[in-house]
Structure 1
Amino acid sequence: MIPLFSSYSFCRLNSKIFYNAFNSYFLASTSDYNHRIQCRTIHQDNSTTNDQNHDDQDLLNEIFQYNLLADLSPKNVVVIMPRMKRGALFRSHESGQALLDETVTLVKTIPYWKVAGAQMISTSAIHAEKIFGSTNLDHIRDYVRNQSADAVVFAIDVLRPIQHHFFRDFLNVQVYDRFSTVLKIFRERCSTKEAKLQLALAELDYIKKNLHHMQECDFSQFSMSKSFGGNFDTFYQIKKQVIQERESRLKRALSSITTAYEVKRKHRTTLEIPTVAVVGYTNSGKTSLIKALSHDNSLQPEDRLFATLDVTTHSITLPSKMKALLIDTIGFISEIPTTLVHCFRSTLREICTANLIVHVVDASHPNRHQQIETVHQTLKEIEVPEKLFQTMIEVSNKVDKLSDPIDIDGLAISATERIGLDELTRQIQKSLIENTERLAFEIRVANGGEQYQWLYREASAIVEMKPDPQDANFLIVKVVITKSKFGKFLKLFHDNLNDQY
């Protein structure tokens, strides 16, 4: 007889295996659970009272808003891509063009913004106050005026405060970088309380970086007397204390929500429901893939950056009939500071606690290799366990859009055309069984007996049932089951199993 093991193949359970397994596994009583898992938003706390909701809303709105981020007025936007032409930060023309194009797409994602123009301009001093020489500076100013632009977005992660201050005065328009542009997109998309609190923390981080160069006119809803009831020597001191107070309150509010989510995660772990985090660069097709695998028609994938900000779960039935949860996560993007990632650590924790990661790559994107590198780097930044990283399934999506053959990264699929999805579900099943150390075996049980009923209720999956050719009163059942459930099964039925073999 073949001994038990955790890969997806089956062996017969005999008395020798039973006694060895019984000595190896022991399980205290566990709760019953129902396999009917419905799609839901993970980060949604329904236990809060109306008063708590009002308090949190007051927290998000009170004290001040930074006008640069809160401004909802329509804008004609010019995008400028400073490209380092030498040195450690050298960027090729092709790489610079790809980043410029992506930044343009970011701008277009904001519904009340319109791209008036975009240019890539070489520089040798990207960290200098003015970034460019006098000739290029004059060219940028004339270009902004000729395009009737009232905002400029620089295609770099974060402008230094002195750079932001200089270009705002020099161009006499509002000035943004990729960080602040992404924050504005998040303002449009955040819907859950947790996402809004995390966004508020990220905005505070951005404000702190520019604090020395901000003036009172940069803020709205600023009430010194309401917040503190006294005077301060300088506006800078007021700003600093306001930010510190608000940051502390936001962190306390977020901590209380995070604690509630940890309880829910532990409950899900107790139920032993395997989870699969679907990650990838923004707009790589994660939601489309989840819709195709889960057959959840309520999902409406959108062809735009950061279409998904709130983490949701969706049930999937694997070939073995085992149930699992697919977790739709926020998309990653390059050229933003790690502080933004850290502010959304609570949401991204769903990735770290999953049993398996599926990384979706847009195979049709010309910059896919850099996008893969960004995703891998972000996973390391949020401290994904090494086992999860090593067992991650890489899939190249949108292969139906390829006009020429390319070297595919991982499994070739198309979520919209359902290409390669059967093989993907088999790989997900195999990896889940291995990562969760589930057991797969055959067992002979009485047709309709207690063992059969218990396995039908408690096992992860009943893969196949067929009559025992030696005795029609018995069935040969192929089972996938967790170690803890198997231990309980052995404890309950060891006498019956010993009699059978």
Structure 2
Amino acid sequence: MSTRDSNEVPLTPVILVGVDFGLPNFDAELEELGLLAQTAGLQPVARVACKRKAPDAALFVGSGKADEIRMLAQMHHAVEVLFDQALSPAQQRNLERHLDLPVNDRTLLILEIFAQRARSHEGKLQVELARLQYLSTRLVRRWSHLERQRGGIGARGGPGETQIELDRRMIGESIKRTRERLSKVKRQRSTQRRQRERRDAFNISLVGYTNAGKSTLFNALVKARAYAADQLFATLDTTTRQLYVAEAERSVSLSDTVGFIRDLPHGLIDAFQATLQEAVDADLLLHVVDASNPGFPEQITEVQRVLREIGAAEVPQILVFNKLDGVAPEQRPLILQDTYELAGTPVQRFFLSAKSGEGLASLRQGISALVPRVQALSMTLVNDVEFPPDSV
């Protein structure tokens, strides 16, 4: 007899598929895709990983592997197939016909999670824009049941083509409206930033790979109650609180931002530019790393890549190796404060556990010592800027 609560919604069984094209850091166990699926309320029941030199133009994995996936889905009663890589609209359509099941990719999965988690008006707008941009490339498969028919001489197209044209126009108008509403939000944020600058505010942003413990550290530093959970993308909306820095004898603004992830959809990076602007405009970044994850070097690289993409690569950083309580005793560092090279530059690193509080005092002292130095450097850079004669 099942022990599941009668009111609990059963999880949707899905098959996970990943293809190794010889690129570094391939997740052969599809662990991250599985965590994403569970975060979205899905239950992985089987995993398929294969190697190919290049994607199959029609079915991405080839017909033989597609047949294997279909048999696995029937065996495990799966109702959906998830791919770890982005699929083209044609590949997605062909796979759905071959497998007779809905097929989605990592991009849509991340979009679905963001749609579930967004709470603020701005967050919902950003998710909607990214979803519309993704959907606009999938219009062909949305209306594949309406066959394109050919009539007499000179007649082309059919009901399917007409519906696609209508949908494309409606989605285009929705994208335009959403962009305009986001632009208004950005202007409001810009006004708020100017007000902070007039108050001589110092801004610190928490960045890092998703589930590195940013929100837990945020709560520990400012005694806040921001939502924190051991899951991917627990935080989407930026939260800002005041943090008192003893050595500098002042308060600074501390912001918790959305986590990064490998292959973050470019549409999401563009759509979340307003939220990520907190990191771009920060005076200091606390780059939080999951020290208990053996793949942390790759995660650091991915975060640095996204920071470059959004224009925040030059913002000073402190590396915070969190989750020290999850590191095996024989692998614990001998000292809890040292330096770590980022792009050839030594950066201060602190080992701590935001959950237990171990090492938190050292980080506070490090921030206290660094704030005056970063602020002095910022003032020097501003004073050294030469403005053209006609500038205002």
2:15 is matched with: 78
The answer to whether the Cα contact below 8 Å between 1:96 and 1:120 also exists between their aligned partners in 2 is: no
Question: What letter matches 1:306 in structure 2?
Answer: F
In structure 2, how many angstroms separate the alpha carbons of the residues matched to 1:357 and 1:163?
Answer: 40
Q: Which runs of 4+ in 1 moved over 6 A?
A: none
Distance 1:182 1:333 in 2: 10
- The alpha-carbon deviation at position 285 of structure 1 amounts to 0.4
- Whichever residue aligns with residue 418 of structure 1, its letter is G
Match of 2:110 in 1: 182
- For 1:396 and 1:361, how far apart are their aligned partners in 2? 5
Matched, 1:119 2:48: yes
Secondary structure at the aligned position of 1:436 is classed as helix
Instruction: Return closer, same or farther for 1:248/1:300 CA change in 2, 3 Å cut-off.
Output: closer
Return the TM-score normalized by structure 2.
Answer: 0.82
Write the distance in 2 (CA, Å) between the matches of 1:323 and 1:316: 5
Displacement after TM superposition at 1:233 (Å): 6.7
- Is residue 394 from structure 1 mapped to residue 319 from structure 2 by the alignment? yes
State which of 365, 377, 382 in structure 2 corresponds to 1:426: 365
Separation of aligned partners in 2, 1:212 and 1:232: 9
1:110 lines up with 2:40 in the alignment: yes
- CA distance in structure 1 between the partners assigned to 2:66 and 2:144 by the alignment: 28
Q: In 2, are the aligned partners of 1:311 and 1:330 still within 8 Å (CA)?
A: yes
Aligned-pair CA distance for 1:172: 1.2
The one of 141, 145, 170 equivalent to 2:74 is 145
2:61 maps to what in 1?
132
Matched residue, 1:302: 229
Paired residue type of 2:325: D
- 1:299 offset after TM fit, Å? 2.8
**Alignment deviations for residues 147-196 of structure 1 (CA, whole Å, 9 cap, x no partner):** 1011111011x211111111111111111111100111111111111111
- Shift of the 371–127 alpha-carbon distance from structure 1 to 2, 3 Å rule, reads farther
Q: Deviations over 1:250-274 (max 9, x none)?
A: 1111111221121111111111121
The residue identity in structure 1 corresponding to 2:238 is V
Which residue is 1:292 aligned to? 220
Given that 1:190 and 1:196 are in contact with CA atoms closer than 8 Å, whether structure 2 keeps it comes out as yes
Normalised to the residue count of structure 1, the TM-score between the two structures is 0.65
Q: Is the 8 A contact 1:125 1:132 kept in 2?
A: no
SS at match of 1:235: helix
* Cα pair 1:232 1:238 within 8 Å, conserved: no
Distance in 2 of aligned mates of 1:362 and 1:309: 18
SS at match of 2:26: helix
- Residue 241 of structure 1 deviates from its aligned partner by 0.9
2:369 aligned partner, one-letter code: K
Q: Give 1:259's match in structure 2, choosing from 181, 187, 192.
A: 187
1:95 aligns with 2:22: no
Answer yes or no: is the 8 Å Cα contact 2:18–2:50 preserved in 1: yes
Displacement of 1:393 in angstroms is 0.6
Contact 2:207–2:288 (Cα < 8 Å) also in 1: yes
User: Are 1:351 and 2:301 counterparts?
Assistant: no
* Distance of aligned partners of 1:217 and 1:393 in 2 relative to their CA distance in 1, 3 Å threshold: farther
- Alignment partner, residue 416 of structure 1: 355
Quickly say closer, same or farther: Cα 1:272–1:318, change in 2 above 3 A.
same
Give distance in 2, aligned partners of 1:167 and 1:377: 32
1:159 aligned to 2:87? yes
What residue in structure 2 maps to residue 377 of structure 1? 305
Given the alignment of the two structures, is residue 319 of structure 1 paired with residue 246 of structure 2, yes or no? yes
- 1:352, distance to aligned residue in structure 2 (A): 0.7
8 Å CA contact 1:77, 1:114 repeated in 2: yes
Q: Which has the higher contact order (CA 8 A, sep 6+)?
A: 1
**What is the Cα deviation at residue 123 of structure 1?**
2.2
RMSD between aligned residues: 2.4
CA distance in 1, matches of 2:169, 2:295: 43
Unaligned residue ranges in structure 2 (runs of 5+) = 1-8, 147-158, 341-348, 381-392
Distance 1:406 1:170 in 2: 50
CA 1:283–1:232: 2 relative to 1, 3 Å: closer
What's the CA shift for 1:73? Answer: 9.4
**CA separation in 2, counterparts of 1:75 and 1:210?**
23
SS in 2 for 1:315: strand
SS in 2 for 1:395: strand
Contact 1:116 1:147 in 2 (8 A): yes
Question: Is this contact kept in 2: 1:151–1:175, CA < 8 A?
Answer: yes
With over 3 angstroms needed to count, the CA separation of the structure-2 counterparts of 1:183 and 1:139, relative to structure 1, is same
Q: Which moved more, 1:397-406 or 1:308-317?
A: 397-406
Alignment partners' CA distance in 2, 1:127 and 1:395: 42
Larger Rg: 1
Distance 1:162 1:233 in 2: 16
